[in-house]
Chain A
Amino acid sequence: MNLAVALPILLPLLLGALSLLAHRRLRLQRWLGVLGTGALLAAALWLLRCVAREGVVVLHMGDWQAPFGITLAADLLGASMAVLTGLLGLATAVYSLATTPRGHEQYGHWPLLHLLLAGVTGAFLTGDIFNLYVWFEVMLVASFALLTLGGERAQMEGAIKYVALNLLSSMIFLSALGITYGLFGTLNMADLAAKVAAADQPGLLSVLAAMYMVAFGIKAGAFPLFFWLPASYHTPPVAVSALFAGLLSKVGVYSLYRVFTLIFTHDVGYTHEILLWAAGLTMLTGVLGALAQTEIRRIVSFQIISSIGYMLMGLALFTPLALAGGMLYIGQDIVVKITLFLVAGIAFRLLGSYRLEALGGLYRYRPLLGVLFLIPALSLAGLPPLSGFIAKLAVVRGAIEEASWGITFVALLTGLLTLYSIIRIWQQAFWRELPAHATDTGVLRGERRDPGLWLMYLPVAVLAGLILLVGVYAQPFFGLAEAAAGQLLDPQAYIDAVLGEARP
């Protein structure tokens, strides 16, 4: 059923419009937010089921056949990413009920949330590279606005860096699109893949590939252009931060996966070698940055960058195992990062600070929160039996099989340093005694009840359970990642599905 691929885009767009119409009625907007993101999750799951059964699902919008019209196409990677988007949207929406300040809701928190989700699913499901640019911009405009709601000084400063670097990347992307159209006369990704394979201009192609790499690399937060990410992601309210941390940079990684498996495979020795170097440096700088920080959200922001390195490593090695591991890493990292941010939000609710020196005693008074922190945190460090272990194992085994000892060493070293940076948070915020100067600990000690707290615990508990599930019962998830890697490495099925009878 072809509607399945349009629904995850149309649904959040419509919900965003309806929440905008209902901007005076906050209760209605909240209901639309929770039910709408739930519906998005259901629609994405339906799409994934269709893709798993029938192969690549294609929809030619407005009945304009490829390569002339805009085509939506979902393979296993795109559909799984859409499912994760729905899951994260739902978790964020529930968490927002308890944490988003009223003023933010009045100034459009909910419509922007839906618009952001529409942009993200659009980017995952489109089969047209110019359309990818359009969805990128939809997503960025929504995220700019979400980032600045509230108008505090830190938000403004973070937003200027975010806007400037992301616009720069968009313009590099647009220039690359112009050159692509000039060279090949098409912007449909499947058609482009066929034409690039037949082209005989390796030098020009490599320049073009490098432009896409820089554009998506900035959006993904890869070395060396990542500094906008830790400067801005921690400034908005925690639910929004969590959504950004989970989703936004992964859209850049997804685009790299799409473009560098489908289109630019003409000179893997050159392009993917650059990606491998970027991957190693991204991992290392990310984790070293995390070690230098003393604020939970900023530590996790740098850890986002470090994880991007592992995902790029999977792509750069370009073997079935490494690609599958890289994709599993993307999937599980989305869940891990959002959970960490949401736990940090609960700690803030209990103690009123994100700074490590002001935190303490959380394990003593809230042992459950301690467990809910340890599950994503140890998964981030790659300890069994959690999802991060499985993904990291696959990526590193991919590297060993390719005899890439340098990147293997960097990956393992980064894992060790990650563990150290996680233990720092654990030791200071959870394990040690409550600092003597901490005020307002009534909620923490259980003397005062906080009615919204269970709404914050609920999504965290579900997501932590998911991390555990993927770690313990990994076979179906790894099987899905392997199947998705198979599709990426053999793009002919994707190309045939998109172009259909239009093929010459």
Chain B
Amino acid sequence: MMQPGSLILSTMTRLLLPLQLLFSVFMLLRGHDLPGGGFIAGLVASAGFILYLFAFGVAATQALLRIDPREIAGAGLTLAVLSALPALLYGDPVFTAQWWHPSLPLIGEIKLSSPLLFDIGVYLTVIGSMLTIVISLAEAEE
């Protein structure tokens, strides 16, 4: 099954992976009040990496990721839990949404919020756990 080398697949994957990652970030950011969000964005991104794994094998995917997927999941879970805490600074119950409106030069005002932090956490957790499962399956196959 894991035979890296199909020319069409590997060429297309090189094209598709950046597009999928870009699309996943787009899904993540629009998720607050439109369809999208951390979970589905994480699935899109991990689908991109899994496609890469089909095309180039486990070792190449691990080299592309550079860090262990379990660390990605850990970082995501940490972010998600920490997003509960900003509310405490303002005296609200945990997980209450907090919004900040800093303005940046050239871009103008942007909206940041603790739900966004939570969503990024979910995004990373999904990528990390999906890749952990798929890589362990693929390693068993090899």
Taking Cβ atoms with an 8 Å cutoff, the residues of A that contact B are 2-3, 6, 10, 13-14, 16-24, 59-63, 108, 111
Contact = CB atoms under 8 A, between A and B. Distances in A.
Given A10-B81, A10-B84, A14-B81, A61 B74 contact: no
18 contacts: A2-B93, A3-B88, A6-B93, A10-B81, A10-B84, A13-B77, A14-B81, A16-B77, A17-B74, A17-B76, A17-B80, A17-B81, A22-B74, A23-B70, A23-B71, A24-B68, A61-B94, A62-B93
B62 interface: no
Contacts of B84: 6, 10
A61 B93 contact: yes
A3 B94 contact: yes
Q: Is the interface of B mostly helix, strand, loop or mixed?
A: helix
B5 to A, nearest CB: 31
A20 B96 CA distance: 26
A111 B81 CA distance: 14
Contacts of A111: 74
A21 B94 contact: no
Nearest to B115: A62
Interface string B67-102: 010110111111011101001100011111100000
Of listed A3, A10, A61, A62, residue having the most chain B CB within 10 A: A62
B95 to A, nearest CB: 4
B78 A14 contact: yes
A110 to B, nearest CB: 11
Contact of B94 (A6, A14, A16, A23): A6
Interface residues of B, number: 21
Contacts of B80: 17
- B77, B80, B87, B92 pick with most chain A CB within 10 angstroms: B77
A108 B70 CA distance: 9
A181 to B, nearest CB: 22
A10 B75 CA distance: 15
B94 A10 contact: yes
A23 B68 contact: yes
Given A23-B68, A23-B70, A108-B70, A63 B92 contact: yes
B91 to A, nearest CB: 11
Contact of B78 (A18, A23, A63): A18
Interface in B1-43: none
A62 B77 contact: no
Interface in B87-126: 87-88, 92-97
A307 B75 CA distance: 41
A20 B70 CA distance: 6
Contacts of A22: 74
Dominant secondary structure at the A interface: helix
B80 to A, nearest CB: 8
B93 A20 contact: no
A60 B93 contact: yes
Contacts of B77: 13, 16-17, 20
A73 to B, nearest CB: 13
Contacts of A19: 74
B122 to A, nearest CB: 12
A432 B95 CA distance: 59
Nearest to B73: A20
A179 to B, nearest CB: 26
Contacts of B70: 20, 23, 108
A386 B71 CA distance: 46
Contacts of B73: 20
B65 to A, nearest CB: 14
A19 B81 CA distance: 14
A176 to B, nearest CB: 25
Nearest to A21: B74
A279 B78 CA distance: 42
B81 to A, nearest CB: 5
A191 B12 CA distance: 54
A20 B81 contact: no
Given A10-B81, A13-B81, A62 B74 contact: no
A63 B93 contact: yes
A412 to B, nearest CB: 48
A59 B93 contact: yes
A59 B75 contact: no
Contacts of B74: 17-23, 111
Contact of B75 (A16, A21, A62, A108): A21
Contact of A59 (B82, B94, B97): B94
A62 B71 contact: no
Nearest to B78: A17
A483 to B, nearest CB: 27
Nearest to A12: B81
Nearest to A118: B81
Interface string B31-71: 00000000000000000000000000000000000001011
A24 B68 CA distance: 10
Contacts of A3: 88, 94
Nearest to A58: B93
A62 B97 contact: yes
Contacts of A23: 68, 70-71, 74
B113 to A, nearest CB: 12
B43 to A, nearest CB: 18
Given A20-B70, A20-B71, A21-B71, A62 B78 contact: no
A17, A19, A22, A108: residue with the most chain B Cβ atoms closer than 10 Å: A17
Contacts of B78: 14, 17-18, 21
B114 to A, nearest CB: 10
